[in-house]
Structure 1
């Protein structure tokens, strides 16, 4: 993927894709990372994760009301209330997946489980920035997007249901003509759970 000269003008190519820079402050970012690192991490995947509200089964691609995880702690509840109050989601997110990516790690192109989650997927980036790749399912057209630290990514409509998104597994990205080394990146994915199951 060519990530040379990434800018927000790429957002217009995908309906329903919104990126909000500096959604939180640097101090908020530091506090969130510290809070997350005080919680237990799961190493069931190649990357470390935390689940709040409900636990998502990656192998079965399913989630049910019975698959409860730790409740959202107050500092995540505050973030969930804010994204709803700011109008980024019509309902209060009740499920959060926290992913940790170290340099060289990524995630395959995918669409978040349609029967499992609601119409809005929100992702807050903490720590290092990185390049994300969006791929349209039918045409295979690709659109790159730089995920800056503290930015909030919102997927709705076509961006949620018609475009795959993924992060190439590498240790650096080309951004604005410069080679940018990746550091540790943590992202909080917030969703409203849908009470349906994939079999």
Structure 2
């Protein structure tokens, strides 16, 4: 990625959700995080990558492969260093204040218009205290639900944006993308278009 060309990213206004309520504490959305000129090359590299069909949606794993059934990572699932084309992007994300070190695990999810991901918290014993998800392709709504109450919030993830979760947003709230064909964005019901996300995490290695 052209790190020198990276413009200052903007944040979601005042950390508010779509309904105007506060986002979960520890959630931060950086708009236009990826320069638009970098997106086509990144998509081309991903399109030619090692897609897996473990789930209903296609995925790629880099650094470490996450075992969805056992919900863990082990030394046997180590895939090696991140590829060179991912390293600059991982390094810039590692420079964010939420991260203690450069992410060494990336999962790529491909979403067809009707696909989503169920409510979950990223594996706590497997990954560190910060996660970041980069959005490519169509915009989509993400829903947050508090694990111990009925509080909820939602947020539109635009293309090129980076969502960072740490603290309460990382551990006390689930996040999900409802499986549906359209979302209401800026008061308009818009059909979904294909989308790819790259989630950057730091692996907690077995002793």
TM-score by length of 1: 0.91
Matched, 1:158 2:189: no
Shift of 1:142: 1.1
**Secondary structure at 1:160 match in 2:** helix
Q: Which ranges of structure 1 fall in alignment gaps of 5 or more residues? A: 1-5
Pairwise mapping of residues 5-84 of structure 1 onto structure 2 (< 5 A)?
8-10=15-17, 12-69=22-79, 71-84=81-94
CA separation of 1:125 and 1:117: change in aligned 2, threshold 3 A: same
CA contact (8 A) 1:115 1:196 kept: no
Shift of 1:196: 4.3
CA separation of 1:20 and 1:59: change in aligned 2, threshold 3 A: same
- Distance (whole Å) between structure 2 residues aligned to residue 66 and residue 79 of structure 1: 26
Matched, 1:126 2:133: no
**Secondary structure at 1:155 match in 2:** strand
Shift of 1:36: 0.5
- Distance (whole Å) between structure 2 residues aligned to residue 122 and residue 158 of structure 1: 14
- Distance (whole Å) between structure 1 residues aligned to residue 195 and residue 29 of structure 2: 17
Q: Which ranges of structure 2 fall in alignment gaps of 5 or more residues? A: 1-11
Shift of 1:70: 5.2
Q: Which moved more, 1:62-71 or 1:77-86?
A: 62-71
**Secondary structure at 1:154 match in 2:** strand
- Distance (whole Å) between structure 1 residues aligned to residue 166 and residue 93 of structure 2: 14
**Secondary structure at 1:131 match in 2:** strand
Shift of 1:109: 0.3
CA contact (8 A) 1:51 1:70 kept: no
Q: Number of paired residues?
A: 192
CA contact (8 A) 1:106 1:168 kept: yes
Shift of 1:145: 0.5
RCO greater where, 1 or 2, for CA within 8 Å and sep 6 or more? 1
Out of 127, 151, 165, the residue aligned to residue 141 of structure 1 is 151
**Secondary structure at 1:173 match in 2:** strand
- Distance (whole Å) between structure 2 residues aligned to residue 28 and residue 157 of structure 1: 30
Root mean square deviation, CA, Å: 1.7
Shift of 1:63: 0.4
